[in-house]
Amino acid sequence: MHKFEIFVAASLMGVFLPVSHGWSGGPYDRPYGAPHQSRSSVISTHGMVATSHPLAASVGLDVLKQGGNAIDAAIATNAMLGLVEPMSCGIGGDLFAIYWDAKTEKLYGLNASGRSPYALNRDVFKQQGLTQIPLEGPLSWSVPGCVDGWFELHDRFGKQKFADLLRPSIQYAREGFPVTEIIAGYWSKADQAFIDYADSKATFLIDGRPPVEGQIFRNPNLADTYEQIARGGRATFYRGSIARRIVDFSQGHDGFFSMKDFADHRSTWVDPVSTNYRGYQVWELPPNGQGIAALEMLNILEGYDLAKMGAGSPEYLHLLIEAKKLAFADRAKFFSDPEFNLLPVKQLISKPYSDRQRARINLQQAASDVEAGDPILQHGDTVYLTVVDQDRNCCSLIQSNYYGFGSKVTPGNLGFTPQNRGALFALADDHFNRLEPHKRPFHTIIPAMVTKDDRPWLCFGVMGGDMQPQGHVQVLCNMIDFQMNVQAAGDAARIRHVGSQQPTGVPMDASGVVNIESGVSNEAIRGLLSRGHKIERVAGGGYGGYQAIRIDGLNGTLHGATESRKDGVAVGY
C-alpha cells in the first residue's frame, strides 16, 4: 500500500490537490451511466461467473456450458484461482460459502474453516516469550479446510464428476499460464518473503525471481497434488499421503500438526443469518467469521436518510465510519468459535440493539474511544467468486490463505503454502478468541447474498481483510440507497477505516485513520476533517476486490460486475 498524501489539520484551509471522478485516474467520459463507472455491466441469460482472474472465470464458464451447475463451476474456478493467484488462496487455506438451491428454494451456509492443532496451546507461546502468534511459519498453521469444503459442496449439490472439475487446473499447472498485471504486483516481493523458505522459493520463483506480467508460470507440484485429490478424494488430503507429508514437515520444523488434526477435521453446515435493509434481506454467515459486522452496520445506517445525503457526501461517510467503529468494537470482543463460547449473534444483529448503538453516534464529531456494546441488554489476501447457473442456483464463495502466501512455508514439493490463520487467535486468557486446542480462529473472509421477495437478488462479495464488512456495506448502500447499477456500485470510490480493536487483543487507536480513494471529493474530505477524522489519501490496494451477479427476475437476465481494482472479469453465456 503506497501512501502518497497525508491530509493534516491545515487542510481545512482549503489546500487540496485535485481529485478525479474515477477511483484510479482521470474522469471517465461515459455517455450513459455513472461517470465513475469503468465499464458496462455484463448481461447474459443462461449462466455467469465473476471472479478476479480471467482464466479462472473462463474455466468456470466452460463447466456451466458443459452442463455443470453453480457448485461445479465454483469448485473448478476456485481450483484454478489456487494456481493463478497462489498468494491469495489455495488448498492450504479455508473456505466459506452461501448457496441458494433453486430446487428447494432455500439458502445453505458452509463453514469450511480449519482448527488449531490439538497439541498447541497458549503455554507454548509463553515458554517461547511470545506475546503474539507469529505471522509466518508452522506456529501460525491451522488445518486447511478448503478441500473438505469442496467435497462437502460437491457431495450435496454437485452434478459433474469431481475429477473433471480439477482437470483444467491440472493442465494449466503443467503447461503454464501467463501472469496478469495485478497478480504480478502481488508476487513482486515474494523473493524477499521466501528468504528463509527454500521449498517456497523452488515452487513460486523462476530462477530466483518472482514472475512478471506476461511471463509463463508453471507449478507441476500443484498439478501432482491436484491429481492425487482427483484420484483419491477427500481422504487423500486428510488421512492419506498429503496429510502425512504436511505432518512430517511440521514435526521436522517445530510445528504441532498431527495426523489426528487432519483426520478429525470437519466442515460445518450452518444457517446463514440476515437483516432486512430497506426491504432487502441481506445474508451473511455467523461467526467465527465477521459477516455479522456488516449486518450491524446496515442496521445502524438504516435509521438515516442516506439517499437524501447523497453518495460520497461527508454526512454519509461520517455515519459509515462511526457505524463501522461500533460494529468492529463488538467484533473484537465477541467474534470467535461458537463451539467454545455462547455468542450473542441474534442480539448483535437485532433492530433494538442497533437503535441503542445509533444513539452513541455524534453527528458532528468522530468517536475516539469506542467500547463494545451490551448486546444482551489488514492485510488479507483473498479470492472471491460468484456463480449463477441456468436453473438460478447461486453460489457465493470466498477462499483465502490470510496473508500473502499464507504462512510463507511450502511443505516440500506439494505446490502450495498452508494458511497462517492461526495468527488470528488471541493469547489473552480471558478473550473469547483465545487460542485453545482444536479451535477455529476468528476469520475475516465472508461471502454474502441478498434476497428480495424471497428470491435471490444479488450474489456478491468484497475480498480484503478488515475491508470486507466495510466493502459489503458500501456496495449495498450504493445499490439500494444511491440507485447505482451493479458495476457502478463496485467502481465507486471507497473509504476504509483502519484502527479498530482487533480480535487478537492487540490494542489500537480506536479513532483510527480513514483511507480514501481519489474519487472522494474535496468537499467530503473537508467535512470529515471538520468532524475530527484523520484522513490519508491512499492509492493502490486495500479497498477490497468486488465481484457480483445481480439476478433480474423480471427480465430473466443476469448482470455481472467485476471491479477494476483486480484483474478479473464477469463472463456469461
382 counts as catalytic: yes
Strand-pair partners of 109? 98, 270
The helix-helix angle for 54-65 and 162-175 (nearest 10°) equals: 140
- Element at 561 (helix H, strand E): strand 557-562
* Residue in 112, 75, 153, 90 with CA at minimum distance from that of residue 387: 75
Q: How far is CA 274 from the centre of its chain?
A: 18
- Element at 535 (helix H, strand E): strand 535-539
Rounded to whole angstroms, how far apart are CA atoms 414 and 242? 8
For the record, the C-alpha cell of 371 comes out as 467500547
For the record, the C-alpha cell of 132 comes out as 503474539
Rounded to whole angstroms, how far apart are CA atoms 87 and 419? 10
Selecting among 51, 203, 382, 444, the annotated active-site residue is 382
Rounded to whole angstroms, how far apart are CA atoms 567 and 508? 33
User: DSSP characters for 365-396?
Assistant: S--S------S-----EEEEEEEE-TT--EEE
Rounded to whole angstroms, how far apart are CA atoms 77 and 53? 9
User: DSSP characters for 46-92?
Assistant: S-EEEES-HHHHHHHHHHHHTT--HHHHHHHHHHHHHHHSTTT-STT
> Mapping DSSP to helix (H, G, I), strand (E, B) and coil, where does residue 472 land?
helix
Number of H helices, E strands in the chain: 20, 20
Rounded to whole angstroms, how far apart are CA atoms 176 and 216? 6
C-alpha distances (whole Å) from 311 to each of 334, 504, 535, 549 are 31, 34, 18, 22
Ramachandran category for residue 26: left, alpha or beta (phi over 0 → left; psi -120 to 50 → alpha): beta
Q: Are 43 and 485 in contact (CB under 8 A)?
A: no
* Residue in 378, 374, 418, 400 with CA at minimum distance from that of residue 503: 378
Handedness of CA 69, 74, 79, 85 (dihedral sign): positive
Rounded to whole angstroms, how far apart are CA atoms 418 and 101? 31
Rounded to whole angstroms, how far apart are CA atoms 228 and 222? 10
Cite the active site residues. Answer: 382
